[in-house]
Structure 1
Amino acid sequence: MRKLIALFGATFLLINLLSKAYAQADDGALAIMVPGGGTYSRPISTDSEEAQAFFDQGIRMAWGFYFPESIASYQEAARLDPDSPMPHWGIAHAAGPNPNSRYQGLPDDPQGAGLAAIRRAMELAGNGSDLERDLINATYVLYNKDAVPDDRERDFAFLAAMRELHDKYPDDADIATVFGEAYMNTTRWDYWEADGAAKPGTAEGKAALEAAMALEHDHPGANHLYIHLMEGSDQPELAMPAAQKLEGSLPISGHMVHMPGHIYLRVGEYEKAILSNERSQIVDDQFAEIWGDTNFPLIGTYPLSHKIHKPHALDFVRYANMLQGNYEDSSEAAYRNSGQGMGALRGSNKNTAHAWMMDKVFGKWDKIHASNAENKELADTPYLKGMWAYVMGSAHAAMGHIGPAEAELAIIREQISADGVNDSGVGPTPADHVLSLAMHALLGEIEQAKGNLDGAILHFGHAVEFQDNLSYTEPPDWSQSVRLYLGAALLEAGQAVEAEEVYRKDLEWNQRNGWTTFGLYQALEAQGKDQEAIIVNRQFEELWRNADVELERSRL
């Protein structure tokens, strides 16, 4: 894998060198034409080939969620053709809300740039086609706070406008994609019921994106959004074709190179998830070399760009390596992301906790004890105090130190109700929910260490309930499935049938991961299902080929 990554890096070094020869921004230019930016094009009303080229770069970057780069490209298109309305539509689209900004509760159009752009597009709409005028007018609905002050009501008004537009122009892939995106804005990452059934409206949004992909198989926006729509479903494999298409659609866009990893993670293709996210970081570095200090307008709703994307990709590397049982690589990625390792990035509350959790997941009890003083000092929020108490308490419980483990448990309880516990921005799930999960998980570990298996099973069951109700994000806000602990406790209690059910349930979501597969093997063996156990053990050995730890049960 490292050789493949090195080869990929060499390829983009060549792109970088080639770009130096011709991608320099002209005096007064607001963007650079970036090589390797894909081929998708939407012809607009303009006589300027250069304006068309920068519009196309803008829409590709927007569909790749690199919005500052997109806005800069649209601004350059508008500079090159001041009379064309569509570059201004593009700025409004890129500056506006999207499913991620809605999920994170970010304020709409904080500097008014999107509203100004769509108003300018409306002023110039007479220079465009009927379709362009209709699209501009529909997009204005999203910005018309005077008519609809509430953003949720405005999202539904925009959805209705795009539904009407999709009905009028059924052969336009971008309109179908914007329609699908409009649906996703209304539901804000809440597309599926717990049993996998589609929530109201999901089928319509899914159909819109599928219509776009039928019209344009490689459409960067439709394939991108389809991955996000399907990754939280019980059929993530339906988005595998979209993942494979995105691998080459925008080879210089780090987020698009990363995106297949969302599906690879869900279907258990962990090596592919790691590779796509290692590549993504290389691409972002190469893009930074090409773009340099060229115009970078942070004027929109969602600021994702090549400058801040790398931690997300690195988190995938951490999580996918953990699921393969590889401590060295998962820990390296985690500590780098937390701001504590070699080549460290600026850390966050969640990334700091993820680094600690890698030591806990892999049973590095001596390391945890040795770093107690340092990490207690780092734990400067209720969330971090509670998470370090969980990690430290787990180490104590594993070593039979019941009293100290219970003292750490008391700290978690205190932090759950501490002032400002949910103010630290740890992720989409409120921190007190995550800490409640930690409390029950540690209670289960303590009770199991005491030999009280009924108590352990009870509390691990409660922890599973909290984990099942985490807000959706990838990688998840909790670093390891608690079903691994519940299953191990059930096996120790002689309840192999129940353990098998737990492990099979876990594999529905965490497909092809070795931890769960090993637990399933043990549950089958304990029931005397020897032939099935042999098959599952062979699967485990294949899945564990990159691991650097040995298992005696489904958790360490």
Structure 2
Amino acid sequence: MEINLPISAVLGLMLLILSCNSKKGQPSGNDIQALHLKQGELISCGPPDKEFGQVNFDISCSPGLRKEFDLAVSLLHSFEYDEAEKVFSRIIDRQPDCAMAYWGVAMSSFHQLWEPPSKADLEKGAKAIEIALSIPQKTKPESEYINALALFYKDWKQVGHRTRSLNYQQAMARIHRDNPGSREAAVFYALALVANADPSDKTFTNQKAAGKILTALYPGEPDHPGVIHYIIHAYDYPELAEMALPAARKYAATAPSSAHAQHMPAHIFTRLGLWEECIRSSIASTAAAKCYGENAGIKGHWDEELHGMDYLVYAYLQKRENSPAKSQCDYLNNIQDVYPVNFKTAYAFAAIPSRYVLENRLWKEAAALKIHPAGFPWQKFPWQSAVFHFTRILGDVHTGHIDTAESELKILKAIYDTLTNQGDQYKATQVLIQVKTGEAWIALKEGRKQEAVRLMTQAADLEDNTEKHPVTPGAVLPARELLGDLYLELDQPDKALQAYESDLKIHPGRFNGMNGAVQARALLNDRVKTAK
């Protein structure tokens, strides 16, 4: 049976078919809406032209989006995750079938060097990478990047964070191996190596491998934010820090619009005891972070501001500039609301006031230190809350309140058990160091001298065998420095000097370490004179 349709109907049908074909592989509006993408104008508190370094990332999406994509990746490399997601969102608005834009959204939820992503981040990242996988219009390299990241999000409800992170690292290793000319493959692989480094590996296998890749790239990419940034992270260790000094002095100028880029050099300046440079860097970073928080409409204070304050107070204390350090403590004490509520803000709230009283030997104030803010969800951050109890123990011991110190020690041991049961061995070890330190000083005050030395030595050895968390400039008081203090109390200046000098190799320029060494040498010299 022959059906004759009007020419207008035929044309309409043809247009419908063409329209359907043109949308093949394009995500639905509902799928995109379900991502709840961050949107809005890019916020920065640096130069007006928004300088975040130079990145050139080949993508198959519209040529008109290339500049936007490079900007988004530059933001990723400086851990400006919210702002990066905004730019990737703009790309999706303009070209919904740009697969790599969804990869970028998923990368913005990854946060490799931070704590594991939240449930909300994992849900968003998994949805974004699923969309990226479903889009057929992508090149082989793009598919490889997307497939690699998909391994991190795959089965995230059943498979642990570290296993999924290692799966991603292995996939990036293959991409780097198969694409030796790809700078971005090299940079992202290096980041994965650093992120998955074992904190107990004193040979720094991953870090050195990453550093080798990045330093080879550096001469040809002097303004690449990822190359410079990740060199700092790769070499953020006492034994390696000197190799990152050129990058540390370069990064802030390379990405002046990034608050995190202003902060990162402080890591290396702290490692090398370059306090003036650390102070300048930290003042710049906290000012930029405060500016960002205000412009972003954040209720309270942005986490990067508090993170920078911790490094700033630490540096002030090493120069014995107590007045500006106290001003920062007072400022912190007036902060109630932060965004986001996370491991960084929790650590800063605990460490900053603890550093001030402990470094200055204000034992009465240390014993009375209050947990602030009272309304903060401290139950979610046992490692950070342990800092308060550790500070109180040392305060109680030095003010003669041994019973109170014992009560605080019980709380510290309970926190250690909690972290052990959670399978967080690194943080459990950090708290164990504090437990043994508390036990050592209680033993000393009770006259159990040999026991005190044994316990404090164990604490120092444990700390020597692990590395600090990237969130902190260092322990609130280094264990081996405290061992030196204990030997001084026992009138053993020779052993005290040995402990101080050993610790200063790891923590150069620490005021109390240097002062303790001076005291120990003076006692030894007096004995030599007396012996004559």
Give the shorter-chain TM-score range: 0.7 to 0.9
Equivalent residue in structure 2 for 1:330, among 325, 328, 345: 325
**Partner amino acid, structure 1, of 2:41:** I
Match of 1:169 in 2: 179
Find the residue that maps to 2:437 and give its secondary structure. Answer: helix
Q: Give how far 1:266 is off.
A: 0.5
What does the per-residue CA deviation read over 1:264-303, in whole Å, with 9 as the maximum and x for residues that have no partner? 110111221222122112112333455559xxxxxxxxxx
Find the residue that maps to 1:99 and give its secondary structure. Answer: coil
Match of 1:118 in 2: 129
Shift of the 254–496 alpha-carbon distance from structure 1 to 2, 3 Å rule, reads same
Equivalent residue in structure 2 for 1:30, among 34, 39, 48: 39
Name the CA distance, whole Å, in 1 between partners of 2:134 and 2:316. 53
Match of 1:284 in 2: 289
Matched, 1:136 2:146: yes
Shift of the 472–457 alpha-carbon distance from structure 1 to 2, 3 Å rule, reads same
Q: Give how far 1:467 is off.
A: 3.7
What does the per-residue CA deviation read over 1:27-68, in whole Å, with 9 as the maximum and x for residues that have no partner? x9934255323241325334453x333222211111111212
- On the 8 A contact 1:192/1:232 being kept in 2, the answer is no
Find the residue that maps to 2:302 and give its secondary structure. Answer: coil
Name the CA distance, whole Å, in 2 between partners of 1:67 and 1:376. 28
Q: Give how far 1:430 is off.
A: 7.2
- On the 8 A contact 1:142/1:157 being kept in 2, the answer is yes
Name the CA distance, whole Å, in 1 between partners of 2:38 and 2:317. 45
Stretch deviating more after TM superposition (85-94 or 328-337): 328-337
**Partner amino acid, structure 2, of 1:36:** K
How many residues in Structure 1 have an aligned counterpart in Structure 2? 472
Shift of the 159–80 alpha-carbon distance from structure 1 to 2, 3 Å rule, reads same
- On the 8 A contact 2:56/2:70 being kept in 1, the answer is yes
Shift of the 315–53 alpha-carbon distance from structure 1 to 2, 3 Å rule, reads same
Stretches of structure 1 that go unaligned for 5 or more consecutive residues are 1-27, 294-304, 531-556
Match of 1:86 in 2: 100
Equivalent residue in structure 1 for 2:453, among 447, 454, 457: 457
Q: Give how far 1:166 is off.
A: 1.5
Matched, 1:182 2:196: no
Find the residue that maps to 1:309 and give its secondary structure. Answer: helix
Name the CA distance, whole Å, in 2 between partners of 1:125 and 1:306. 42
Shift of the 387–151 alpha-carbon distance from structure 1 to 2, 3 Å rule, reads closer
What does the per-residue CA deviation read over 1:509-550, in whole Å, with 9 as the maximum and x for residues that have no partner? 1112222222223334444499xxxxxxxxxxxxxxxxxxxx
Name the CA distance, whole Å, in 1 between partners of 2:415 and 2:165. 34
Find the residue that maps to 2:79 and give its secondary structure. Answer: coil
Match of 2:349 in 1: 351
Residues 462-501 of structure 1 correspond to what in structure 2 (within 5 A)? 462-468=458-464, 472-473=468-469, 474-475=471-472, 478-491=475-488, 493-501=490-498
Shift of the 476–141 alpha-carbon distance from structure 1 to 2, 3 Å rule, reads same
**Partner amino acid, structure 1, of 2:169:** L
Find the residue that maps to 2:303 and give its secondary structure. Answer: coil
**Partner amino acid, structure 2, of 1:182:** A
Name the CA distance, whole Å, in 1 between partners of 2:98 and 2:426. 45
Name the CA distance, whole Å, in 2 between partners of 1:212 and 1:191. 25
**Partner amino acid, structure 2, of 1:226:** I
- On the 8 A contact 2:275/2:315 being kept in 1, the answer is yes
- On the 8 A contact 2:260/2:304 being kept in 1, the answer is yes
Find the residue that maps to 1:314 and give its secondary structure. Answer: helix
**Partner amino acid, structure 2, of 1:190:** D
Shift of the 256–262 alpha-carbon distance from structure 1 to 2, 3 Å rule, reads same
Q: Give how far 1:479 is off.
A: 0.7
Residues 177-216 of structure 1 correspond to what in structure 2 (within 5 A)? 177-185=187-195, 187=196, 189-190=197-198, 193=201, 196-199=202-205, 201-216=206-221
Q: Percent identity?
A: 19
Name the CA distance, whole Å, in 2 between partners of 1:93 and 1:357. 35
Stretches of structure 2 that go unaligned for 5 or more consecutive residues are 1-36, 44-48, 339-344, 528-532
Name the CA distance, whole Å, in 2 between partners of 1:446 and 1:33. 54
Find the residue that maps to 2:326 and give its secondary structure. Answer: helix
Name the CA distance, whole Å, in 2 between partners of 1:134 and 1:378. 47
TM-score, normalised via structure 1 length: 0.72
What does the per-residue CA deviation read over 1:129-177, in whole Å, with 9 as the maximum and x for residues that have no partner? 443344334433433449x955544433333332222123222221101
Matched, 1:159 2:169: yes
What does the per-residue CA deviation read over 1:204-261, in whole Å, with 9 as the maximum and x for residues that have no partner? 3333333443441222112222222221351211111221221112212111110111
Equivalent residue in structure 2 for 1:521, among 518, 523, 527: 518
**Partner amino acid, structure 1, of 2:325:** S
Name the CA distance, whole Å, in 2 between partners of 1:224 and 1:385. 29
Residues 247-396 of structure 1 correspond to what in structure 2 (within 5 A)? 247-288=252-293, 290-291=295-296, 307-337=302-332, 340-341=333-334, 346=338, 348=346, 351-352=349-350, 354-365=352-363, 367=365, 371=368, 391-392=391-392, 394-395=394-395
Name the CA distance, whole Å, in 2 between partners of 1:420 and 1:336. 31
Q: Give how far 1:74 is off.
A: 0.6
What does the per-residue CA deviation read over 1:353-389, in whole Å, with 9 as the maximum and x for residues that have no partner? 64145223313345457x57x6699698788997666
Name the CA distance, whole Å, in 2 between partners of 1:149 and 1:368. 42
Name the CA distance, whole Å, in 2 between partners of 1:259 and 1:141. 29
Shift of the 145–368 alpha-carbon distance from structure 1 to 2, 3 Å rule, reads closer
Q: Give how far 1:499 is off.
A: 2.5
Equivalent residue in structure 1 for 2:70, among 40, 47, 56: 56
Find the residue that maps to 2:204 and give its secondary structure. Answer: coil
Shift of the 362–429 alpha-carbon distance from structure 1 to 2, 3 Å rule, reads farther
Shift of the 465–91 alpha-carbon distance from structure 1 to 2, 3 Å rule, reads same
Name the CA distance, whole Å, in 1 between partners of 2:235 and 2:373. 41
Shift of the 211–527 alpha-carbon distance from structure 1 to 2, 3 Å rule, reads same
Match of 2:406 in 1: 410
Q: Give how far 1:461 is off.
A: 2.3
Find the residue that maps to 1:98 and give its secondary structure. Answer: coil
Larger radius of gyration: 2
Shift of the 277–215 alpha-carbon distance from structure 1 to 2, 3 Å rule, reads same
- On the 8 A contact 1:470/1:477 being kept in 2, the answer is no
Name the CA distance, whole Å, in 2 between partners of 1:184 and 1:385. 27
- On the 8 A contact 2:389/2:412 being kept in 1, the answer is no
RCO higher in 1 or 2 (8 Å CA, sep ≥ 6)? 1
**Partner amino acid, structure 2, of 1:223:** I
Name the CA distance, whole Å, in 2 between partners of 1:412 and 1:61. 43
Find the residue that maps to 2:180 and give its secondary structure. Answer: coil
Name the CA distance, whole Å, in 2 between partners of 1:432 and 1:134. 37
